[in-house]
Chain A
């Protein structure tokens, strides 16, 4: 069990009928065709409706359908539910549902000691052991010692439950994930109605499929009730969430919603140029369903065309944006630089994944920070923002769009696979909480100069084609100040380079200062950025619970840095910087401030565990 709050031990269950739990982490694991993602999201949705706080982490293979029963084919979904405020999907599962030997083999090492394992024994055959690379039956070779194992012949009981169903055997077998879900609903006292309704809606045109899955869900529940397989059932009370309307949201959907919100708040039509790439494609998918909001989505022939089309749309007065992942950002570099040079707004959503090269497309990483900062030719600074949670992707998208149009500049937003696919309950904002930033195109002919600048933001005027008298030419060649004509003058190049840099630096005037959670000076500050927020938050809380004095701050803007960052860094004896890369923020901090921060890099393609950061905090403070 995780220790964020006092928790109970599943293994030491008393025979009481109902036992309260403060929180629990469950991982559903099976073949990529076993429907584990659906099982997990259903458990999640239902838990949200029960009022738990929750956080999820899907983990799926890159292959659409790797050979069944093999280790690369294992797909998993982890969900943590709690009766209190939580920030991460949890370090280690307390409960593992393993649909086959491969799923057990891949996931068992993560399970908490004394954790619960639910196995589908029908899949525990010599053939499947071989496919999973196992020489012996894990149930008999001691691997499962120290865990509470519950064996269920899931395929058999599923088929039996569906004896009267008109479906063929293959279709029946596909229902076994709902049998398992029904068991978990019993074990954790969840209502079945939301899933029943979801199935009825989802399979409205295939009622026999809906019926079979519902039958299995109920059969799974009843199986536990009748067999007494588990001697105890658990209850996780609702968390004290702020009053309001909630929905579950993942990072990619939140980015899509934030983009449409920005379109409405700026009064600009949204144009997304995109080329499918994991883990960013869902952003394209979501926005493609929002055409009636005036959204244009353009699936381009390649990454370069995607960003170029967005730039073309921006030239014409649209809110041009593109979505990609690391390899795509590399391809877009030259075009992003064009937008930077011609000073047009552009928003680049980069959903980072493990690199370099193709790397591990379905695994998360924060290793594109320096690419976003410096991955272009010439002196080419641009604003970089990173959301800190799935729901925060909404706000970060909105902010990125606002800065892009206010400063006439391309902005890179760094999300990652963890935020993109992870979900959390989101208290929907009151629309009055959203900032308005209506855009007015330049229309005054008298005195028009394409590269004149706003005194405050240094933005140049946005004069769009179709405006009589404002005909002008822009391009990637260096511009003469004010006129925008081509110029090779040395002094002009220095001046324009300085202006472009100063324009980005001035964004710092309009962003929030860095807030410190905890004492504003002291021995140790843990400084993070982007998706590590939840884990760092949890780790700092845990360290404080052990009596350690540690503060925490989280950077939202990586460029420009908030104006008080240097002061904050100087207020602590040590600054620990955990990040899912080789130490890129640490590199920036050292280079910018000569600050001797303690870098804590991790490049495993998966998020930090809370205990890892707690351990580093203790090392910094030299306590055991």
Chain B
């Protein structure tokens, strides 16, 4: 019997396990946001499955009172693909981190996204390896000093949103652990999407990489540094009195960060269209970073295309329509057969 979804509350999604992240970890805020949003989705909780890999973020399933699978390092998207493909009736959420999804599991992430498996993938990006106690990650900035890079990292980092866009994800978004309202709204929007939805959640690791996003998350910075994308609205940001906007320079194909006023108005800025079929503008926005640009938050891309799991089911149904569901006898006796009679005679 299915759960009555009308009475579900946040606590119904809280498991009996003690949450064991470091005090002050940004993961608490993300867990709370998801547990708040889940009851609103109207999905029986037995149909929700949370799948994770390895890392701090990947402890997540233990704290959700749904079906959960804490798998192995980097492989959550692959396991989720198998589950969703064979059980399209389930809602499958993948919880991963910057090391899990972009380093050891980079291959699975991009392939799940390109296939458009109907998965919700939340990548907690804290730009550090936390569970192994402080090595640099594939999103750590060049020059970062960590236990494994005592004189500074020399790797160029990934931008997770750009990776997802490059992989052809049908929905890509970015939010911040402590921007609860924005995060919940992003999660709601993601839940509605049919297809792979990828969310980079900027998450503070207060032990090994404290303040990694303080340029954006400090109270006085939020308005100046955050570009909150709204479909159909111009790309403008900044506090009252210091409003700015983004324009496209048609000759360099670069975004221009311009002050509004003095003859430049919001109408002169680019109008955001999250449904654009080509991802070019989303790429430009994804790669906006301080000090030259604000950080784009919200939905960077949302397009409709057939889901992989849907296509698999459809193909099987088509084959069954055309060829019947087949009996074991038909299968075994297919191909070239011949009969040997009791007297040894042979018939084809």
CB of B129 within 8 A of chain A? Answer: no
CB of A277 within 8 A of chain B? Answer: no
- A291-B319, A292-B319 known; A264-B82 Cβ under 8 A: no
Query: In whole Å, how far is B320's beta carbon from the nearest beta carbon of chain A?
Result: 5
- A302-B107, A472-B67 known; A246-B86 Cβ under 8 A: no
Residues of B within 8 A of A473 (CB): 15, 17, 61-62, 64, 67-70
- Is B316 within 8 A of A485, CB to CB? no
Residues of A within 8 A of B61 (CB): 473, 475
CB of A468 within 8 A of chain B? Answer: yes
- Is B331 within 8 A of A290, CB to CB? yes
- A238-B344, A246-B339, A247-B335 known; A334-B320 Cβ under 8 A: no
CB of B346 within 8 A of chain A? Answer: yes
A476's nearest neighbour on chain B, judged by CB, is B72
CB of A477 within 8 A of chain B? Answer: yes
Describe A's contact surface by its main secondary structure: mixed
CB of A312 within 8 A of chain B? Answer: yes
Residues of B within 8 A of A335 (CB): 72, 75
Residues of B within 8 A of A294 (CB): 316, 320, 325
Q: How far is the CA of A453 from the CA of B84 in the complex (A)?
A: 27
Q: Which of B2, B80, B332 has the most CB of A within 10 A?
A: B332
- Is B87 within 8 A of A468, CB to CB? no
Total residue contacts A-B, CB cutoff 8 A: 214
B82-99 toward A: CB 8 Å interface, digit per residue (1/0)? Answer: 111111011000000000
Q: How far is the CA of A485 from the CA of B45 in the complex (A)?
A: 20
B36-80 toward A: CB 8 Å interface, digit per residue (1/0)? Answer: 000000001111010100000000011011111111100100111
- Is A308 within 8 A of B339, CB to CB? no
- Is B67 within 8 A of A465, CB to CB? yes
B15's nearest neighbour on chain A, judged by CB, is A473
CB of A260 within 8 A of chain B? Answer: yes
Residues of B within 8 A of A243 (CB): 339-342
Residues of B within 8 A of A246 (CB): 337-340
CB of A315 within 8 A of chain B? Answer: yes
Q: How far is the CA of A292 from the CA of B317 in the complex (A)?
A: 7
Query: In whole Å, how far is B76's beta carbon from the nearest beta carbon of chain A?
Result: 8
Query: In whole Å, how far is A340's beta carbon from the nearest beta carbon of chain B?
Result: 12
Count residues on chain B whose CB falls below 8 Å from chain A CBs: 64
- Is A315 within 8 A of B85, CB to CB? no
CB of A204 within 8 A of chain B? Answer: no
CB of B7 within 8 A of chain A? Answer: no
Q: How far is the CA of A311 from the CA of B83 in the complex (A)?
A: 8
- Is B332 within 8 A of A271, CB to CB? no
- Residues 91-143 of A at the B interface (beta carbon under 8 Å): none
Query: In whole Å, how far is B112's beta carbon from the nearest beta carbon of chain A?
Result: 9
CB of A317 within 8 A of chain B? Answer: yes
A35-58 toward B: CB 8 Å interface, digit per residue (1/0)? Answer: 000000000010011110000000
Q: How far is the CA of A50 from the CA of B344 in the complex (A)?
A: 11
Residues of B within 8 A of A305 (CB): 75, 78, 81, 107-108, 111
CB of A293 within 8 A of chain B? Answer: yes
CB of A257 within 8 A of chain B? Answer: yes
Q: How far is the CA of A246 from the CA of B84 in the complex (A)?
A: 39
CB of B326 within 8 A of chain A? Answer: yes
- A292-B316, A468-B1 known; A312-B80 Cβ under 8 A: yes
Which one, A247, A309, A314, A486, contacts B337 given CB within 8 A?
Answer: A247
Query: In whole Å, how far is B161's beta carbon from the nearest beta carbon of chain A?
Result: 21
Q: How far is the CA of A470 from the CA of B46 in the complex (A)?
A: 8
Which one, A291, A298, A338, contacts B85 given CB within 8 A?
Answer: A298
- Is B329 within 8 A of A431, CB to CB? yes
Q: Which of B1, B65, B82 has the most CB of A within 10 A?
A: B82
- Is A301 within 8 A of B86, CB to CB? no
Q: How far is the CA of A431 from the CA of B329 in the complex (A)?
A: 7
- Is B316 within 8 A of A45, CB to CB? no
Which one, B44, B82, B324, B331, contacts A309 given CB within 8 A?
Answer: B82
Q: How far is the CA of A470 from the CA of B67 in the complex (A)?
A: 8
CB of B253 within 8 A of chain A? Answer: no
CB of B219 within 8 A of chain A? Answer: no
- Is A312 within 8 A of B86, CB to CB? yes
> Could you list which residues of chain B lie within 8 angstroms of chain A, going by C-beta atoms?
1-3, 15, 17, 44-47, 49, 51, 61-62, 64-72, 75, 78-87, 89-90, 107-108, 111, 312, 315-316, 319-320, 322-326, 328-329, 331-333, 335-342, 344, 346, 348
> Could you list which residues of chain A lie within 8 angstroms of chain B, going by C-beta atoms?
45, 48-51, 194, 238, 240-248, 257, 260-261, 264, 269, 271, 273, 290-296, 298, 300-302, 304-305, 308-318, 320, 334-335, 338, 342, 427-429, 431, 434, 465-477, 485-486
18 contacts between A and B (CB under 8 A): A246-B339, A246-B340, A291-B315, A292-B323, A296-B85, A304-B78, A312-B51, A313-B87, A314-B82, A316-B82, A466-B89, A470-B67, A474-B68, A474-B70, A475-B62, A475-B69, A476-B71, A476-B72
